[in-house]
């Protein structure tokens, strides 16, 4: 119940914001908002002891029970980690934003979006139902879109928001397809029930497609290679948003999804390689590109990408244990997952602090460009402390928590090379090598953050404001975070025991004991092991490369900007826009004749094509009635008249020839025993001809059509094809007499309707509805004619009549 309430509370609060904003104009809105995450954090934290004992909490509220879509909240070890991160970092970020954003900004929008996001994010991590998870997932995309474009008067903000939206929503829709496949296979949307029926799911043909689609959703959301391009552009958002969404919470939704889905897909080779492979590539690519950035926020964005790749690859490596099944040997590989969860928390602490640090620098100095910064150490000592602790934790140095998780990461990559499944024995060595290289780059950019911002010479003339220390309120939240950075290093096992251990049970539900999977984290193992040597190597090589940065920096120019993923994305977008425009312009040319041609060609192709395909053409003249000579004459008159219309030069000829046609049709009606039709046809044809003649003087002169020979040829071909199709269908239909006609019934009209004229009884009695509506048609046409003639153009419109 309380869990459902914690999802709902942010939404309720968001709805209340406009009222509070109007009521309390002179108090910063953030103070009211701060209550929400702080309260939720406290409430959720009370669950920790019970969850550490292995309890889980779930509650179902019916939503669309007929489709199996119910709002099922589920709180276990994995979701509590995320919900504590969301509410905890959320509180700090809101506290920070109170000092970061002035009351001149449209704060009610900002906090409304932020609360929406928070609620959606809590919904993602606390939902057991896949459909509900998807709903909240898209809500995070939408609220993130709104937050990125918070300063919507800037072009870059709008572009960044659009890009993030497009990429994450595309992935979200792919994920939805994956979820539906899971539902088709398992018959349930509940994640726990799917895990319970795992054999059915794994033996299905849809297993691999569902896995790939779900992964696509996770990779786009978590900015994995090559979908990482939206994250650096999303840095146009206000810094609190970057700190919250794009480092601690939203980008981890994909990680959460991977962790949540590991019990379902984890044992499979494709999953292992996709998750760990993409993760390790992202790790390298992000760290490699972070070094070349000049904007501190862009640098942090790439570092986030890289760290997310690290976590992702660890989840992939950890899934190997599921393939092996439970044994004392395989438990070693679960420690990769443990490391992933551990680093997840560590990353949220130090990256949140670093973003806040950048925000302070930006706020107090007016720029984030490292080429203009420098020498701020003595002026902003507190900010400097944050930067040092955050960066060195990110680089993986003691005595900070990043060191512990980095060591565990190295250990996992080294251990994985000893496996001989999934052809790891041949290529498995790449994992520790790439991880090590990426760590070197990580070290370099971490040093860049500290050295370029706080050391060296200050350049006051290139700064927009005179630098000074930030207000205390802005410093409190990052200090809490770096306090955690150091605190987790000192007492990592509290975290490991109480929070990470139950989460391991969620990821490995089939494994009997979680105690074995929870290693004792220690900073110093008492001996020199491989990981420590690797870390020392990172530091030595990193320092060397940082010193020589100027020499090898031009290396980045080798890869031309033209082939970056960003420009490929831009080109794909603009070229598809251009192409679709071209295609549309090509066939939608606004010329009626062309549209008629499309329709006729479609008609001929479908009908004639079907006749040829099904071979239904048949012609049997034996049942035909005899041809009398006068009928033959009538037929030839009609053929002559129609063909003559084509060659008529004057409109009067056409009108008269049409009259000839009409009267011939009337004669046919006489010949074929239809007196009513003959009468009507004669009258109607007379009136039509009279109408044509009446309007004769107002209508344009018939001009000779100036068309090219080929176009004329096309027209002739199409006309003949249409005529032939109709003829052949008609001939084929003539031979079809499967059923008796129902006219025998109408022949009893005298008894049934009291009339002797069968046609008239049908019109007036048996099928009088047709007649009534036909009268309506005539009436409407009369009204239309009247209005068209009588009503003049409105004032201001061009009126040709008066000219």
Partner 1 sequence: MESLMIVLVGILVAVATYLVLSRSVLRVIMGTAILSHAVHLLLLTVGGLKKGSVPILGQAAAPYTDALPQALILTAIVISFAVTAFLLVLAYRMYLMNGSDDFQELGGSPDE
Nearer to partner 1, 515 or 747 (CB): 747
DSSP label at residue 513? -
Interface with partner 1, residue 686, by CB under 8 A: no
Helix (H, G, I), strand (E, B) or coil at 325: coil
Of 64, 427, 583, 733, which lies in the binding site for partner 1, with binding defined by CB under 8 A? 733
Nearer to partner 1, 64 or 690 (CB): 690
Interface with partner 1, residue 692, by CB under 8 A: yes
Q: Which residues make Cβ contacts (< 8 Å) with residue 661, sequence separation at least 6? A: 638, 641, 642
Q: What are phi and psi of 700, to 5 degrees?
A: -70, 160
Name the segment binding partner 1 (CB under 8 A); options: 235-243, 396-404, 473-481, 766-774.
766-774
Nearer to partner 1, 557 or 787 (CB): 787
Of 700, 709, 794, 795, which lies in the binding site for partner 1, with binding defined by CB under 8 A? 700
Name the segment binding partner 1 (CB under 8 A); options: 102-110, 225-233, 516-524, 679-687.
679-687
Name which of 384, 353, 664, 615 is nearest 483 in CA terms: 353
Three-class HEC string of 220-286: HHCCCCCHHHHHHHHHHCCHHHHHHHHHHCHHHHHHHHHHHHHHHHCCCHHHHHHHHHHHHHHHHHH
Name which of 358, 360, 453, 347 is nearest 395 in CA terms: 347
Interface with partner 1, residue 758, by CB under 8 A: yes
Binding to partner 1 (CB under 8 A) within 303-342 occurs at none
d(CA 434, CA 446): 18
Q: What are phi and psi of 685, to 5 degrees?
A: -65, -40
Nearer to partner 1, 465 or 712 (CB): 712
Interface with partner 1, residue 754, by CB under 8 A: no
Interface with partner 1, residue 555, by CB under 8 A: no
Nearer to partner 1, 23 or 794 (CB): 794
The tokens 């919470």 sit on which residue?
249
Instruction: Return the bridge partners of 377, or none.
Output: none
The tokens 């975290």 sit on which residue?
495
Nearer to partner 1, 539 or 637 (CB): 637
As measured in angstroms, the least distance from the Cβ of 387 to partner 1 is 55
Binding to partner 1 (CB under 8 A) within 492-521 occurs at none
d(CA 50, CA 498): 10
d(CA 523, CA 408): 10
Interface with partner 1, residue 430, by CB under 8 A: no
Interface with partner 1, residue 677, by CB under 8 A: yes
Of 199, 615, 705, 740, which lies in the binding site for partner 1, with binding defined by CB under 8 A? 705
Interface with partner 1, residue 541, by CB under 8 A: no
Interface with partner 1, residue 469, by CB under 8 A: no
Cis peptide before 399 (omega within 30 of 0): yes
As measured in angstroms, the least distance from the Cβ of 580 to partner 1 is 16
Q: What are phi and psi of 504, to 5 degrees?
A: -60, -35
d(CA 275, CA 265): 11
As measured in angstroms, the least distance from the Cβ of 629 to partner 1 is 12
Binding to partner 1 (CB under 8 A) within 611-670 occurs at 619, 621, 623-627, 631-632, 635, 638-639, 642-643, 645-646, 651, 654, 658, 661-662, 665, 668-669
Binding to partner 1 (CB under 8 A) within 340-399 occurs at none
Of 200, 702, 713, 752, which lies in the binding site for partner 1, with binding defined by CB under 8 A? 702
Dihedral angle of Cα 131, 135, 138, 142, to the nearest 10 degrees: 170
Q: Tell me the DSSP string of 30-54.
A: HHHHHHHHHHHHHHHHTTHHHHHTT
Interface with partner 1, residue 750, by CB under 8 A: yes
Of 152, 525, 553, 585, which lies in the binding site for partner 1, with binding defined by CB under 8 A? 585
Q: Which helix (H) or strand (E) holds 323?
A: helix 320-324
Rg (CA), the chain: 38
Name which of 122, 110, 96 is nearest 39 in CA terms: 122
Interface with partner 1, residue 682, by CB under 8 A: no
Q: Which residues make Cβ contacts (< 8 Å) with residue 651, sequence separation at least 6? A: 696, 699, 701, 702
Of 65, 526, 554, 741, which lies in the binding site for partner 1, with binding defined by CB under 8 A? 741
Interface with partner 1, residue 718, by CB under 8 A: yes
Interface with partner 1, residue 199, by CB under 8 A: no
Of 15, 200, 472, 781, which lies in the binding site for partner 1, with binding defined by CB under 8 A? 781
Name the segment binding partner 1 (CB under 8 A); options: 143-151, 167-175, 491-499, 673-681.
673-681
Helices 401-416 and 530-547, interaxial angle, to 10°? Answer: 110
Of 614, 708, 777, 795, which lies in the binding site for partner 1, with binding defined by CB under 8 A? 777
Of 590, 614, 629, 738, which lies in the binding site for partner 1, with binding defined by CB under 8 A? 590
Of 558, 562, 743, 794, which lies in the binding site for partner 1, with binding defined by CB under 8 A? 743
As measured in angstroms, the least distance from the Cβ of 574 to partner 1 is 19
Helix (H, G, I), strand (E, B) or coil at 70: strand
Name the segment binding partner 1 (CB under 8 A); options: 18-26, 155-163, 262-270, 780-788.
780-788
Interface with partner 1, residue 715, by CB under 8 A: yes
Retrieve residue 501's tokens.
Answer: 């251990």
């Amino acid at each position: 119940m309380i869990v459902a309430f914690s999802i709902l509370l942010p939404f309720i609060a968001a709805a209340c914001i406009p009222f509070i904003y109007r009521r309390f104009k002179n108090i910063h809105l953030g103070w009211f908002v701060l209550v929400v995450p702080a309260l939720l954090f406290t409430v959720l934290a009370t669950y920790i002891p019970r969850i550490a004992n292995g309890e889980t909490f779930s509650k179902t509220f019916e939503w669309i029970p007929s489709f199996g879509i119910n709002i099922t909240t589920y709180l276990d070890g994995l979701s509590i980690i995320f919900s504590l991160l969301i509410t905890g970092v959320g509180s700090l970020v809101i506290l920070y934003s109170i000092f970061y954003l002035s009351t001149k900004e449209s704060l009610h929008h900002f906090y409304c979006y932020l609360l929406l996001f928070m609620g959606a994010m809590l919904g993602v991590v606390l939902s057991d139902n896949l459909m509900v998870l998807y709903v909240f997932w898209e809500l995070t995309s939408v609220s993130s879109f709104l937050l990125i474009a918070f300063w919507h008067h800037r072009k870059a903000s709008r572009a960044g928001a659009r890009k993030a939206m497009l990429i994450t929503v595309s992935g979200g829709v792919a994920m939805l397809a994956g979820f539906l496949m899971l539902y088709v296979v398992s018959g349930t949307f509940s994640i726990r029930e799917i895990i319970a029926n795992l054999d059915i799911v794994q033996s299905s043909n849809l297993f691999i497609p569902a896995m790939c689609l779900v992964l696509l959703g996770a990779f786009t959301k978590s900015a994995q290679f090559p979908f990482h391009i939206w994250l650096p552009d999303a840095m146009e958002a206000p810094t609190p948003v970057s700190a919250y969404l794009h480092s601690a919470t939203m980008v981890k939704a994909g990680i959460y999804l991977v962790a949540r889905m590991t019990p379902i897909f984890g044992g499979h080779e494709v999953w292992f390689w996709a998750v760990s492979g993409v993760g390790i590539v992202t790790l390298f690519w992000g760290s490699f590109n972070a070094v070349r950035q000049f904007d501190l926020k862009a640098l942090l964005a790439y570092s986030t990408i890289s760290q997310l790749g690290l976590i992702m690859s660890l989840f992939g490596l950890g899934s190997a244990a599921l393939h092996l099944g439970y044994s004392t040997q395989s438990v070693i590989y679960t420690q990769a997952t443990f490391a992933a969860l551990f680093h997840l928390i560590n990353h949220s602490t130090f990256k949140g602090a670093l973003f806040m640090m950048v925000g302070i620098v930006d706020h107090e100095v007016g720029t984030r460009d490292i080429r203009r910064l420098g020498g701020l150490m003595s002026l902003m000592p507190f900010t400097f402390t944050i930067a040092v602790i955050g960066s060195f934790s990110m680089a993986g140095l003691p005595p900070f928590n990043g060191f512990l998780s980095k060591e565990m990461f190295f250990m996992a990559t080294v251990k994985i090379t000893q496996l001989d499944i999934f052809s790891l024995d041949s290529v498995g060595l790449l994992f520790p090598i790439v991880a090590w290289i990426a760590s070197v780059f990580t070290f370099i950019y971490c040093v860049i953050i500290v050295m370029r911002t706080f050391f060296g010479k200050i350049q006051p003339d290139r700064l927009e404001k005179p630098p000074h220390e930030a207000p205390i309120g802005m410093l409190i939240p990052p200090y809490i975070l770096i306090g955690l950075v150091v605190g987790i290093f000192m007492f990592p096992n509290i975290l490991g025991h109480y929070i990470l251990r139950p989460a391991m049970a969620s990821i490995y539900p089939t494994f009997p004991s979680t105690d074995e999977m929870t290693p004792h984290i220690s900073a110093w193992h008492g001996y020199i092991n491989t990981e420590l040597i690797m870390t020392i190597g990172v530091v030595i090589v990193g320092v060397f490369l940082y010193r020589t940065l100027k020499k090898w920096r031009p290396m980045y120019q080798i890869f031309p900007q033209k082939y970056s993923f960003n420009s490929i994305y831009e080109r794909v977008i603009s070229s598809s826009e251009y192409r679709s425009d071209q295609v549309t312009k090509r066939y939608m040319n606004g010329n009626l004749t062309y549209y008629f041609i499309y329709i006729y060609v479609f008609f001929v192709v479908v009908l004639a094509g079907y006749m040829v395909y099904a071979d239904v053409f048949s012609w049997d003249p034996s049942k035909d009635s005899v041809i009398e000579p006068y009928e033959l004459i009538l037929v030839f008159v009609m053929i002559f008249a129609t063909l003559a219309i084509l060659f008529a030069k004057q409109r009067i000829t056409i009108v008269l020839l049409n009259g000839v046609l009409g009267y011939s049709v009337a004669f046919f009606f006489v010949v074929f025993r239809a007196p009513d039709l003959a009468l009507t046809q004669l009258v109607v044809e007379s009136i039509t001809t009279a109408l044509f003649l009446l309007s004769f003087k107002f209508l344009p002169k018939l001009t000779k059509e100036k068309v090219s020979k080929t176009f004329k040829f096309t027209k002739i071909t199409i006309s003949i094809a249409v005529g032939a199709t109709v003829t052949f269908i008609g001939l084929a239909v003539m031979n079809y007499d499967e059923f008796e006609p129902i006219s025998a019934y109408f022949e009893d009209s005298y008894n049934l309707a009291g009339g002797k004229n069968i046609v008239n009884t049908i019109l007036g009695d048996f099928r009088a509805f047709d007649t009534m509506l036909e009268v309506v048609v005539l009436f409407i046409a009369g009204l239309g004619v009247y209005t068209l003639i009588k009503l003049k153009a409105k004032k201001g419109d061009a009126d040709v009549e008066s000219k």
